[in-house]
Amino acid sequence: MIEERPSRRRYGRIIVVVLILLGIGWIGWQLLALRPARNASSAPEDARAPEGVRIKVEVLNATQTKGLARRATVYLRDRGFDVVGSGNVAEQRASTVVYDRSAHPEWARLVGRAMNAPVVERPDSSRYLDVTVLLGGNWRPPALPFHP
């Protein structure tokens, strides 16, 4: 009796198929990991400044993440808000909050919807602003467009 042994070619094909499947799985995993965060990009489309209305917004970064106020400024300007100032504050926050500075709660609610953040009434007529946004660690900017 001669025992049949699988050929080396057969083992080679099996190894190639397994390596291809592993490669496809790795690519899928990487694509899932690169998905943009659903915080800022999940804001409703109607969370925009009304046509012809100037809502003056200040954006302050209350995190250690560098450039977050700049990214939020670009995001809000793309939605029609007039960001007149941005910067950093020493206070560190875990969550984003929107302050109504000018007693226009509907304007503050629009900014709050755009930022997915709660609105707090804090009138301050000395600031010449309508809304202040304090960015916390929970705010994620939308993904940047890819420009090769």
pLDDT at 135: 96
Residue 19 burial (10 A CB sphere; 0-12, 13-18, 19+): exposed
Give the relative orientation of helices 68-78 and 105-115 as an angle to the nearest 10 degrees. 120
Show me where the domains of the chain are located: 40-135
**Spans of the chain below 50 pLDDT:** 36-41
SS3 string, 80-121, reads CCEEEEEEECCCCCCCCEEEECCCCHHHHHHHHHHHCCCEEE
Q: Can you name the CATH fold of 40-135?
A: Alpha-Beta Plaits (3.30.70)
Single-letter code of the amino acid located at 126: S
pLDDT at 147: 63
| Stated pTM of the model | 0.67
Helix, strand, coil share (%) of the chain residues, nearest 5:
35, 15, 45
pLDDT at 75: 93
pLDDT at 29: 77
